[in-house]
Amino acid sequence: MSIFFSKISHNKFFVELGFDFFECNSLNLIKNGWNGILIDADEDKCLKIERCLKFFYPKNNVKVINEKINRENINEVIFSNIKNNHIDFLSIDIDGNDYWVLEKIDINNVNVLCSEYNPWIGNITQKVIPYSKDFTYEYDYYFGASLHSYVNLLNSNNFDLIAIDSSGTNAFYVKKNFSEKFEILSATKSFKKSSRFHSRDEALKIENYVHKCKFIDLNDK
């Protein structure tokens, strides 16, 4: 992500929603002296990452918050824990209601945003799981929303798609007033699957299962 912020002025502040002690989108930023907050519903993950940060980066200024977030409480959880409303990097990966939560976040003062999409839903479709405040991910690949759902939501909030990681799970967006500094991507042409981590038979089983699950088609709204 350093290439993003080499082109954008920033105050080295991040907010990450959903993480693991071995899977943290903001870790390289922390290594480079960034401050911010990490929020996750899993108490064990929060304790582990606190210990890791204290051991490897004893001078860090990162606040770890153990909280289950939803679209009703998200802005209160974030903005009651930061000194000002400006966020240089916002990451959301909560394995469930990501789309509905992101829809509610005040992102007017966010520069760069990362959201996990569900590649198993497919390309050229706008589908999202129905909102349930108590949704719990069952590790069955039923979560979140399609890439196009996020791209359209964020386009309407003045963000452009600028990158998709090689694993086919995370997409990165930049505020439109910085767009001229980057190549703007087409969601359709840039879409990546994550099936390279699975055998052909495994990938087919996952796709067939996910396609039978219940989704809201945003094109029908």
CA-closest candidate to residue 53, choices 35, 68, 73, 71:
35
Confidence of residue 166 (pLDDT cuts 50, 70, 90): confident
Residue at 131: amino acid letter: Y
> Coil, strand, or helix at residue 65?
strand
Encode burial over 54-93: b for 16+ CB neighbours within 10 A, e otherwise: eeeeeebebebbebebbbeebeebbeeeeeeeebbbbbbb
| Contact partners, residue 146, CB within 8 Å, separation at least 6 | 117, 118, 121, 122, 123, 125, 126, 127, 128
185-198 mean pLDDT: 88
Confidence of residue 198 (pLDDT cuts 50, 70, 90): confident
38-59 mean pLDDT: 95
Query: What number of other Cβ atoms are within 10 A of residue 27's Cβ?
Result: 20
21 pLDDT above the threshold of 80: no
> For the chain, how big is the Rg over CA atoms in Å?
17
Question: What digits encode the pLDDT tens for the residues 105-148?
Answer: 999 999 999 999 999 999 999 999 999 999 999 999 999 999 99
2 pLDDT above the threshold of 90: no
User: Helices H, strands E: what count in the chain?
Assistant: 8, 9
In angstroms, the CA 104 to CA 75 distance is 8
Query: What number of other Cβ atoms are within 10 A of residue 217's Cβ?
Result: 12
In angstroms, the CA 101 to CA 69 distance is 8
Domains of the chain: 2-220 (3.40.50.150)
